[in-house]
Amino acid sequence: MNKENKSSYPILGMIFALILSVGITFFNSNNVFSKTKTPIEGYKVYLKGDAIGLIKSDKELYDYINKMQDQLMKKYNVNNVYIPNDIKVEKDITYESNISTVANIYNIINEKSPFTIKGYKVVIDETNSTSYDNETNQDAETIPETDKITTINVLDKDIFKEAEKKVILSFVSEQDFNDYSNDIRKTLIDTGEVIENLYVDAKITLIDAYLPVNEKIYTTEEELTEYLLFGEKQNMSSYTVKGGDTLESVAEANKMNVNEVLIANANLRGSSALLYEGQNITVGVLNPIFQTVKEIHKVEDQEIAYKTEYEYDNTQYVGYQSTKQHGSNGINRVTQKIKEVNGEIMTALISNQQEIRPVVNEIIVKGGRQPHIISAGNWGWPTNIPYIISSHYGWRWGRLHSGVDISGTGYGSPIYAAKAGTVTEINYTGSLGNYVEIYHGDNYYSRYLHMVTLSPYVHVGDHVTMGQTIGDMGCSGNCYGTHLHFEIWQGKPYGGGQSMNPLLFY
Ligand SMILES: [Zn+2]
């Protein structure tokens, strides 16, 4: 009703107000037959212009807010807790049944317009990251853009800087980190490795902000480091060391590899670190919030194992054997460019190789004409040499990497059958890419993944000999850098078989 009406017809206005009041009582009361309520003096609380409730005493609310501010100041160890500046309290007439507790009002305020403290919002943007994920994780293409941006609240810039450094130090030694930070580049004499590039593959922005206290605010670098390494907390737990445990057994029991256990437990790194009974170890699936990229230039001497060749001398009886030439291993000096993401090799390429000492094969002369029988243990290497093992068989990122990744020999380089056998599958899938599967007898299978194309060399049912070319190294399927993913299985792969570590066969 407007003022004019009120002044012109005061009695009518009063009656009208009374009806209205009765109406309010009626609707607000749960029990229609409740006792008559007497109006009392109270205070109406507004937030951003909206009424959020009625309280008996404004002082009680102010005291409560002060108490909460004190608690928050203590919790975060800060001098100021900011309350929303659009809270208004006005005297009003109300009824006992409509009164809210101040705690209730505080909860409503905190939900709609929380108290804040000064700090920083850290925005980690991986939208343009080129190393977002790796082979065993999801396909990068299928991850929505929004998932590539993470926002974290931190109380202090230094907390983030220190945690970021700790994450980087999970993948690189302190010495290397300091050298790189201080622009000290060592020159390689003969062999060794130099870090050419070390960076976090994300755009990280720190913004001054008023942080809402009802959101997670990181106040210690330890807690933030854990978050940056493991992502959401449920990925992480604690393991208590038992008698007889080794780093290897703890890793295996928790579906991790040893390197991952060391990443998660900085205190275990270093030569003096020993496990003791009752020790608590952080375990879980690593899922770093950002990717740490290390590009290295590496020169190493690789030993080339000599092979044994047999010559047959028909002038000699079967059973005769003599060594015509003693074998000796060769040495190749191999220059490599390696890009590691979160401690895993993502791409590797041999840029140069130099023979330091030639390999000399052993030659044995046998009597009589005998076929060369390959024993169960005699497997040929499936790529050219030299090569780089870019990922070993075993647990990584919480999944079993069921083969060995071989790279360095370049895109399109040949892939050889590791042993004589019959081709059982030639196929393409979105994750495996173009692959070949061979059955070798004695229940052994081998698989060769990520080839350039479906094999133009062999067909299903073909018999292949050891060392026969069966494909070209590529990066088809779910792959982040040219390599051969090579598997050996006892039993049919994914058909009741068991994958084995291929390196045990060589
Ligand atoms: Zn692989």
Q: What integer pLDDT is reported at residue 27 of this predicted model?
A: 44
What is the whole-number distance in angstroms between the Cα of residue 177 and the centre of ligand 1? 28
CA of 415 to the centre of ligand 1 (A): 15
- Residue 398 Cα, ligand 1 centroid: separation in angstroms? 14
Percent of the chain residues topping a pLDDT of 70: 85
Residue 169 lies in a domain: no
Task: Give yes or no for residue 10 having a pLDDT over 50.
Answer: no
Decide: 72 and 117 in contact? Cβ < 8 Å.
yes
Q: How far is the CA of 353 from the centre of ligand 1 (A)?
A: 25
Flag whether 343 is in a domain: no
- Return the ∠ at Cα 395 (arms to 438 and 269), rounded to 5°: 140
Count CB atoms within 10 A of the CB of residue 303.
12
Q: Are residues 383 and 505 in the same domain?
A: yes
Query: Distance from the CA of 208 to the center of ligand 1, in angstroms?
Result: 43
CA 294 to centroid of ligand 1, rounded, Å:
20
Ion ligand 1 nearby residues (CB, 5 A): 405, 485
Q: Per-residue pLDDT for 26 more than 70?
A: no
Q: According to the per-residue pLDDT averaged within each range, which of 119-123, 278-282, 342-346 is highest?
A: 119-123
Residue 490 lies in a domain: yes
Q: What is the pTM of this model?
A: 0.66
Contacts of 263 (CB under 8 A, 6+ apart): 170, 171, 229, 286, 343
Span 163-221, pLDDT tens digits: 999 899 888 888 888 888 888 877 878 888 899 999 999 999 999 999 999 899 999 98
Residues 504, 382, single domain; the answer is yes
User: Which tokens go with 93?
Assistant: 């007439």
Q: How many Å lie between the centroid of ligand 1 and the Cα of residue 405?
A: 5
Identify the band that residue 492 occupies on the pLDDT scale cut at 50, 70 and 90: very high
Among 115, 138, 154, identify where a domain stops: 115
Distance from Cα 338 to the centre of ligand 1, integer Å: 16
375: CA distance to ligand 1 center in Å?
27
129 falls within a domain: no
Is 43 within a domain?
A: yes
Domain count of the fold of the chain: 3
CA of 374 to the centre of ligand 1 (A): 27
276 in a structural domain? yes
Does the residue 190 lie in any domain?
no
Select from 115, 150, 177 the last residue of a domain: 115
Q: Domain of 490: which CATH number?
A: 2.70.70.10
Confirm whether 250 is domain-assigned: yes
Backbone angles phi, psi at 133, to 5 degrees: -145, 175
> What CATH number does residue 248 fall under?
3.10.350.10
For position 4, what pLDDT does the model report?
37
Question: How many angstroms separate the alpha carbon of residue 476 from the centre of ligand 1?
Answer: 12
Share of the chain residues as helix, strand and coil, in percent rounded to the nearest 5: 25, 40, 40
Residue-range definition of the domain harbouring residue 249: 236-286
Q: What is the pLDDT of residue 294?
A: 92
